[in-house]
Amino acid sequence: MKRPFHSCLAKQMEEFVYSRKASVRWNKSYEDNLYIFDNYCANQFPTASSLTDEMLEWCKERSTESGNSCKNRIMVVSNFVKYAIKKGWTKIEPPQIPSVRPCTYIPHAFTQEELICFFQTCDGHVIDTFNYKGNIINKLNKLELPVYYRLLLSTGMRTNEARWLMRSDVDLVEGVININKSKGADQHRVALHKSMLQLLKIYDENIDKVMPNRACFFPKKNDQFHRIDWAEYHFRIIWKEVSKESARPYNLRSYYAVVNVTKWKNVGFELHDKLLYLSRTMGHRCVNSTYGYFNLSPVLADKIKTLTEKSFNNLLPKLSDNYEQEK
């Protein structure tokens, strides 16, 4: 293990982690929160010999948390307890996961001017990379960030899907990305626009000069995936020079969906075929998941209302704060 566990649950936690990694159901957030829980158990229950109900007090929602943030924090502990029950290590009940609480967050609607300004500012980070005397982290960021954000905008990929890409997932001959690591166990494919394909080819050639024989498509210095806050951190820095309004990288996925559905304003009942294609390329498990984006596209919403009339309100679900994470 990169960081050893210290509580009485150390060996059980190690086995749990290996099991989750083997089934490709492990991530950095899980890792961080499990180590925090382990340290809590080691400090608060130094003489304990097994998992107890008192230890799960750590899972109670805090005054500084919302239901959604509490859920993200304790999910790994809940899964650990379920694993312990299955292995016969304990009989205590898993912690109760807070229900999702809908809010009113609406993704930022980028204007063409904002996007142009954003990418111009982002491209300013790419200044003669190979003559730059800084460390490898700066070199990688200067090459990766402009391509990473453009890939989100061009394909509608989830931020984690792009961050988790292996070099072997990207077919630069046929222009297809195989998304093997996504939300849950979902897998799907994305066809690249020819301009994006050309950009990825140039990127792949250039970054190979900095990190030859890499495995990750967007690697950090040790050829591992970037942390989840990598793209968020740099996006905030760049976005501050563009606008005072709130926005985040995931909004590029929403923009991709809205631009696509808005183009359908003159279509008839063949709308279903287009909807199915968009749903699959965005990695949605069912078509209903794609309907939520219609709320962000008034032109298409009016079109659907004309065609469906009575079922319109049932067709379009209301957006919630965690809508983007769900999709």
Task: Look at residue 261 in the predicted model and tell me its pLDDT.
Answer: 73
b/e map 61-96, b = 16+ CB within 10 Å: eeeeebebebbbbbbbbbbbbebbeeeebbebebbe
Flag whether the pTM goes above 0.85.
no
At 194-204, the pLDDT tens digits run 999 999 999 99
Where on the phi/psi map is residue 88: left (φ > 0), alpha (ψ -120 to 50), or beta?
A: left
Identify the CA nearest to 181 among candidates 156, 162, 196, 155.
162
Task: Look at residue 184 in the predicted model and tell me its pLDDT.
Answer: 53
Tell me the C-alpha distance between 20 and 87, whole Å: 14
Task: Look at residue 292 in the predicted model and tell me its pLDDT.
Answer: 62
Task: Look at residue 317 in the predicted model and tell me its pLDDT.
Answer: 52
Contact by Cβ (8 Å): 316, 292:
yes
Task: Look at residue 63 in the predicted model and tell me its pLDDT.
Answer: 86
Q: Provide the token pair at 295.
A: 């709320």
Tell me the C-alpha distance between 234 and 122, whole Å: 9
Identify the CA nearest to 176 among candidates 158, 189, 159.
189
DSSP state of 322: T
Identify the CA nearest to 252 among candidates 234, 235, 277.
235
Tell me the C-alpha distance between 89 and 93, whole Å: 12
Tell me the C-alpha distance between 300 and 285, whole Å: 22
Q: Provide the token pair at 322.
A: 């965690």
Contact by Cβ (8 Å): 159, 152:
yes
Angle at 199 between CA 196 and CA 202, to 5 degrees: 155
Tell me the C-alpha distance between 55 and 60, whole Å: 10
Identify the CA nearest to 197 among candidates 216, 214, 172, 215.
172
Digit-by-digit pLDDT tens for the chain (327 residues) are 567 999 999 999 999 999 998 887 888 889 999 999 999 999 999 999 999 999 999 999 988 887 678 998 999 999 999 999 999 999 999 999 887 666 556 778 899 999 999 999 998 855 544 455 567 888 899 899 999 999 999 999 999 999 999 999 999 999 999 998 766 546 788 999 999 999 999 999 999 999 999 999 999 999 999 988 899 999 999 999 999 999 999 999 888 888 877 776 665 556 666 766 777 777 766 666 665 666 555 555 555 555 554 554 554 555 554 544 445
Contact by Cβ (8 Å): 81, 294:
no
Tell me the C-alpha distance between 148 and 43, whole Å: 41
Task: Look at residue 128 in the predicted model and tell me its pLDDT.
Answer: 42
